[in-house]
Amino acid sequence: MEKSERSFVVEEAEILEIGAALSEGRLTSVELVQLYLERIEQYDHQLNAIVAVNPDALTVAAELDAKRGEAKRGPLYGVPILLKDNIETSDQMPTTAGARVLANNYATEDSFVAKQLREAGAIILGKVNLSEFANFISDKLPNGFSGVRGQTKNPYQPGVFDTGGSSSGTGASIAASFAAAGVGSETSGSILSPASSNSLVGIKPTLGLVSRTGMIPLAHSQDTAGPMARTVTDAAILLTAIAGFDEEDQVTAPSTRHVHNYTDFLKKDGLKGARIGVDRTTMEWLTDAEKDIMERAIDVMKEQGAIIVDPINVPLPTHKSIVLHHEFKHDLNAYLSKLSSDVPVRTLAEVIAWNKEHPEAIPYGQSILEAAQEMSDDPNDPAYLADRQEDLVQSGEKGIDQMFKTFEIDAILFPKNYGAAAPAKAGYPSITVPGGYTPEGEPVGVTFSAMAYSEPKLIEIAYSYEQATHNRVAPVLDFIEKGDN
């Protein structure tokens, strides 16, 4: 690859900064792609975040450069974005969910998310690693491990700090500035966890705001894609691009009334008058250093005019639900049944059998796959329907809904991803913002959740907090290059 001679610095470069350089002719998209590819080549051997680089990226960049002056362009035009490797693209990159059995799973059509990004002019630079099958293969699986790419590491201290999961590669690669921003996915905590662990902004949208068409599923009642970026602004830009109605995913139908240009809600005074409830139950799970970070965050919110309602304790689930195992079997069987003959499996049972024949592909076993296989995949199974209803009641009606009604709040505050389960089950949105670092340098995120389609309010609150603190500090990748594994 020819080395770019441009002086533009991609480390920590924000989307609007990149767009200005492109529109003013100080940079081309071809040069920008080259800069990111150089950075990946220099550092990813220590992070294991990148599964595949799009071989068409430079060609697409050249085509976009040639058309740049033809019309007014949006902020993502000519900007490289990375996708979690469970999101399909109709190019020369497979979509594997980290599973070796899906190594030849080449899609013939883009996922809805990929279509939206291409329509916005974004360049899909590559696919990134994840906890295999979105962390639904084995109860022994470390965050960020897959049979396809191995162990993704946290750029803040590789091999020491957790990457979070399951969108581990999105977290590590965007923290390391391998692209302008990235897309992860979440069923329960899988955007919030790596966003917190890698000092990023992560938005887990309301269920249905972003289509799942063309995503390898875990559970349809909770699955969603969402943006991961280094700033709230960049996350809002990315969410604006990927949100919208998709006739192939009817859960998106109500979203037609709720899609916005989310950059309209980047308000520095977004905390003023906002009523924020503090979930003290999740605070109890923190170390002393992490508790200090959360208390400082609360102080900042007060200084910015927020009304802190403390405590509100969101009730924890009291039953062991079978919903994820049931839906995983049903949804994965439906997905696999449509794949080409290049993929050797058509059912979850066949995946399990293939893995047994190739034990090197699953060093941590497949206990969750096997447990899911034991479930009925009948969508009308009474036990499943009862648990799904109970999930909704406990997380929504008797959980988050009750907190909002009782305390008249705008958002719930919790640390990292520790309160992710309730909004995930209810289908409600959350946003994580960098909150600070422990004395050892480990990132800790501050997370806000609210009712369905509250993304505008959450973005206001998160942006106001971000602008009051500017907590994010880039990882020191030269430290990695010196050989600390």
Q: Is residue 330 part of a domain?
A: no
pLDDT category of residue 4 using cuts at 50, 70 and 90: low
* pLDDT value at residue 319: 84
Degrees, nearest 5: CA angle 463-464-466? 60
Within-domain flag for 240: yes
Give me the percent of the chain exceeding a pLDDT of 90: 94
Q: In terms of residue numbers, what domain contains 125?
A: 15-266+475-481
The greatest distance separating any two alpha carbons of the chain, rounded to the nearest whole angstrom, comes to 63
For all residues of the chain together, what is the average pLDDT? Answer: 96
Q: Does some domain include residue 63?
A: yes
Q: Tell me if 37 is assigned to some domain.
A: yes
| Comparison of pLDDT for 238 and 4, the residue scoring more | 238
416 tagged catalytic: no
pLDDT digits 0-9 by tens, 242-290: 999 999 999 999 998 999 999 999 999 999 999 999 999 999 999 999 9
Active site residue 166: yes
Q: Which two tokens stand for residue 345?
A: 């499996």
Distances in Å between the alpha carbon of 373 and those of 118, 146, 325? 37, 20, 8
Q: What are the tens digits of pLDDT across the range 134-146?
A: 999 999 999 999 9
Q: Which two tokens stand for residue 32?
A: 């920008």
Query: Which pLDDT tens digit goes with each residue over 203-218?
Result: 999 999 999 999 999 9
Q: What is the pLDDT of residue 79?
A: 98
Q: What CATH number is associated with residue 64?
A: 3.90.1300.10
Query: Which of 167, 185, 190, 193 is an active site residue?
Result: 190
Q: Which pLDDT score, from 0 to 100, does residue 244 have?
A: 97
Cα–Cα nearest to 351, from 186, 87, 136: 136
Q: Residue 6: pLDDT band by 50, 70, 90 thresholds?
A: low
Which among 172, 180, 175, 291 is positioned nearest to 233, based on CA atoms? 180
In the structure, what pLDDT confidence band is assigned to residue 166 with cuts at 50, 70 and 90?
very high
- 217 occurs within a structural domain: yes
193 exposure class (CB count in 10 Å sphere: 0-12, 13-18, 19+): buried
Radius of gyration of the chain (CA): 21
Catalytic residue among 29, 138, 146, 166: 166
**How do residues 278-326 score in pLDDT, each as one tens digit?**
999 999 999 999 999 999 999 999 999 999 999 999 998 788 999 999 9
pLDDT one-digit tens code per residue, 430-481: 999 999 999 999 999 999 999 999 999 999 999 999 999 999 999 999 754 4
- 397 domain-assigned: no
pLDDT reported for residue 316: 84
The total domain count for the chain is 1
Would you state the pLDDT for residue 482?
47
Q: Which of 84, 153, 329, 425 is catalytic?
A: 84
The reply to whether 409 falls in a domain is: no
Look at the pTM and tell me if it is higher than 0.95: yes
Distance of CA 167 to the CA centre of its chain: 5
Q: Is residue 188 part of a domain?
A: yes
Instruction: Spell out the long-range contacts of 262-265 with Cβ–Cβ below 8 A and sequence spacing 24 or more.
Output: 262/236, 262/237, 262/455, 262/456, 262/459, 263/233, 263/236, 263/237, 264/456, 265/236, 265/455, 265/456, 265/457, 265/459, 265/460, 265/463
